[in-house]
Structure 1
């Protein structure tokens, strides 16, 4: 799904679910055919767990891949969850797929991040051989830091008890790479400050190891305006962006100009297009939600609009109107959902757009539903089909299927014997049966969207009739009956 960054640069969202942990990402194509990739990691306070994603990088000419640090609901430094480094393998898998799809090599890549994002940039850059690494105020002893400073993140990464051996392991992942001088040809750009309260424990002890790298560049800012960790990156954003722009153009500031005009306007984009399409956040494998109520042309009140439907495989249905988010509806265990609007609608026709979302964040194609509101219309409340009580009757017995919703005839309506038609909706059912005084009158199938229709070709006697309507599924399980009473009047001339 495409969206726009703060300055209007088109951004594509996706999820790479090929690894052990689904990895959410945002991607922006290069400008002017630039042949470079900037990979951006998030700091601890990044909005929505995407770093530098508010438009600040919009002037970079490179391709940009933002990776979200949200795995099982928490931050992981892009490394581990409960001590399992499956997160790392999934993240590097995504990066390598994008590099390959763009027809690039690790020499054409810059890894970028601040704070925990800087730690990730250093780790992945050194371990996996990427050419350029820009890291502002990273933590190099990650285990001790998350245990002592961000224990919630520490428990998420290391396990509830944060065992000491796992803390030590996480402390060593970066320092071991530096000791072994992994990726010695990397161009390292590290930003820090003595005003950073983390400098003495997280940076200074390891400067000797970093200085072994021939292409190590240290931006040390002693400005009195820096008042703490977060201010270091903020104060150094202009030079950081300057470095990034030079790296994108193939220029390494320490070594001078190594390559100019790193552009290929006519480059084949088929590889990255295929990858973005296959990992798009919108996937056909999740069916779009269906709406079972209201029926077409059925008027709704201006207050208390209720939509119901089915979205099997989803955890929620998201509802929008003209690009405005209206709300979402949780999806029950059987795939049913109900949404009640709290807003007041103007009278007339309205179209809302819905999509389903599954547990991994995949979105379905869109469904548009149009309805008309009237200030002269009232409708009964829809049942709360997501409530646990829906599975039990008043005596505590389990109810597999809800009674079907009845749309026509209306209660008490007078009908000609030749024009009786039953319509309604039934979630999780395959067919609906009709009986009167214990006698089966007929049945009809339930469509895939939950709606059903039965033309009642039956010898109806004039007078009042009470019909029970029962939903059933393929297993033979039946719902409690829904009861409808209406009157049949003689056909004129007969």
Structure 2
């Protein structure tokens, strides 16, 4: 079990990880997961990627069937979807949420779009999503195990059923979320899934922003999307940027002194520091406009610093330095 994982009991039991904002913000980022690597169990995506943001984050696990259910259905019964949206509504109510972003890549991108459009979230950030599930699962990846769970069999009727889930939902919706879609311009997903998706969004007058990367492999989404995801969330929620520069790295001798300095988007951002030795906090520096920290290594161990930045909106981010081994 993932640390902090809980189970929401509804028609279906939904496993999730909720990270509550310390600053009690009213925003929520919902993260849907992609397919697990073959032979591995489903897991939560982008937990580490989004760790710097002190915002409400809801990671939802899709561990139904042999590998996944797209957070939708079992044998055409949408109890999984009803349970997932019940969890989301529970988190919204319990935390006074009034601004929602859904995000994910590949299968998670499909779910981010489906839930974000159908249930009227404010923003959607999707990377290389599928659109025609029947084509993808049956023709493009031979994932009959997934289609068998979702639709019951893998016949032509079920192929059409899976293909039509997203288009029919978009045709019925009155919601107009803001949508950001990223993928490689030479990915097969662009022709097979994203172009038909964009045509449908144009048809119902839902605005979107398309961001094309210079790559052709679907798997390369994992290299390019995390930075885009962070930058887009930072812009949407008005969180400060934060990067640490350090005067030394690697192995150093006792008595060495390292200068840590942050680069952030405003000199008015307040910065605080923690210093760790062997993952135990040994020092701290309270918030101030001083963007530097000097650390003298007086004992053997593995050191790193962690910086926190807070802007005028009281939005906080944090980032850790590279480790320095002192001998």
- Give the distance between the partners of 2:226 and 2:16, measured in 1 at CA: 23
Aligned equivalent of 2:130, options 118, 128, 139? 139
State the TM-score, normalizing by the size of structure 2: 0.67
Quote the residue 1:243 is aligned against. 232
Aligned equivalent of 2:161, options 160, 166, 169? 169
Quote the residue 2:282 is aligned against. none
- Give the distance between the partners of 1:194 and 1:138, measured in 2 at CA: 13
Higher relative helix content: 2
Mapping of residues 247-266 of structure 1, within 5 Å: 247-249=236-238
Mapping of residues 24-423 of structure 1, within 5 Å: 24-45=15-36, 48-105=41-98, 108-148=99-139, 149=141, 150-159=143-152, 161-180=153-172, 182-184=174-176, 186-211=177-202, 213=205, 215-221=207-213, 223=214, 226-249=215-238
Deviates more, 1:28-37 or 1:88-97: 28-37
Cα deviation 1:186-221 (Å, max 9, x = unaligned): 110111223212221111123233346464111112
The question of whether the paired residues in 2 share the 8 Å contact of 1:60 and 1:248 is answered with no
The CA deviation at 1:142 is: 1.2
Structure 1 pair 156–235 and aligned structure 2 pair: CA distance change class (3 A): same
Structure 1 pair 129–250 and aligned structure 2 pair: CA distance change class (3 A): farther
- Give the distance between the partners of 1:182 and 1:192, measured in 2 at CA: 26
**1:74 counterpart SS class:** coil
The question of whether the paired residues in 2 share the 8 Å contact of 1:61 and 1:245 is answered with no
Count of aligned residue pairs for this structure pair: 241
The CA deviation at 1:262 is: 5.9
Structure 1 pair 147–101 and aligned structure 2 pair: CA distance change class (3 A): same
- Give the distance between the partners of 1:68 and 1:244, measured in 2 at CA: 21
- Give the distance between the partners of 1:122 and 1:98, measured in 2 at CA: 19
- Structure exhibiting the larger radius of gyration computed from Cα positions: 1
Q: Which runs of 5+ in 1 are unaligned?
A: 4-11, 252-259, 266-494
- Give the distance between the partners of 2:35 and 2:70, measured in 1 at CA: 9
The question of whether the paired residues in 2 share the 8 Å contact of 1:34 and 1:263 is answered with no
The question of whether the paired residues in 2 share the 8 Å contact of 1:30 and 1:62 is answered with yes
The question of whether the paired residues in 2 share the 8 Å contact of 1:83 and 1:166 is answered with no
**1:217 counterpart SS class:** strand
**2:113 counterpart SS class:** helix
- Give the distance between the partners of 2:16 and 2:172, measured in 1 at CA: 31
- Give the distance between the partners of 1:72 and 1:34, measured in 2 at CA: 35
State the TM-score, normalizing by the size of structure 1: 0.45
Quote the residue 1:378 is aligned against. none
The CA deviation at 1:82 is: 2.0
Root mean square deviation, CA, Å: 2.6
Q: Which runs of 5+ in 2 are unaligned?
A: 241-310, 317-327
Greater relative contact order, per chain length (Cα 8 Å cut-off, separation 6+)? 2
Cα deviation 1:268-295 (Å, max 9, x = unaligned): xxxxxxxxxxxxxxxxxxxxxxxxxxxx
